[in-house]
Amino acid sequence: MKKRTLVLSTGNINKVKEIRDILKDLPIDVVSKDELGLKEIDVIEDGETLEENAIKKAKAIKDRVQGMVMADDTGLFVDYLNGEPGIKSARYSGPDATDEKNIQKLLKALEGVPMDKRTATFKTVIALIMEDGEVLTVTGECKGKIAFKKRGQSGFGYDPLFIVDGYDKTFAELGNNIKNNISHRARALEKLRIVLTNIIEDDIDEDSSCQ
């Protein structure tokens, strides 16, 4: 059976490696947009939902490549802040946002708030555009609480603040090996793997019936 191609809208080599690993048992070649010479494509994430942003990022490169296209968007939704920073998580502290500035703004917004009211949910939405243009989305979630200060050295973004339910440690304390098995993105990617597996099995069934 001919291998299919899955183009990722990210240039993040860690994301690419993670996705390749999760899909390694499928007849799919996973390539990043950077590997196809599309590094210059930079999408303005102005959608009102994670789904809108993920689909927009996927559509931005769909007409430039052959095969399926995948993009994702992630947000941290803090209950006490009515869902903020939410879809603006990456740019929470403004146009010149950095991980550190975002963390400090979030800690300031939650100053004096007790732990039982610091509940939050990390969400990742993955958009998959098929060769024929059909759009599919899957969602992964991870619940936890926001720490009073940074804890741990690994990870990125809000990882030093997000205490994962059931672990009493932040993503940054757990380390990438554990995080990549239990995180919101890992859960969304597992759903994507199931979707792709079913699609490929359907193709095999169709090929068999045509012989």
Residues acting as catalytic residues: 73
- The C-alpha atoms of residue 96 and residue 187 are separated, in whole angstroms, by 30
The pair of structure tokens assigned to 177 is: 């090996």
- What number of other Cβ atoms are within 10 A of residue 29's Cβ? 13
Concatenated DSSP letters for 41-65? -------SSHHHHHHHHHHHHHTTS
The pair of structure tokens assigned to 126 is: 């993955």
Peptide bond into 27 cis (omega under 30): no
In the block, tokens 């720490």 appear at 147
Contact 69, 129 (CB under 8 A): yes
3-state secondary structure at position 137: strand
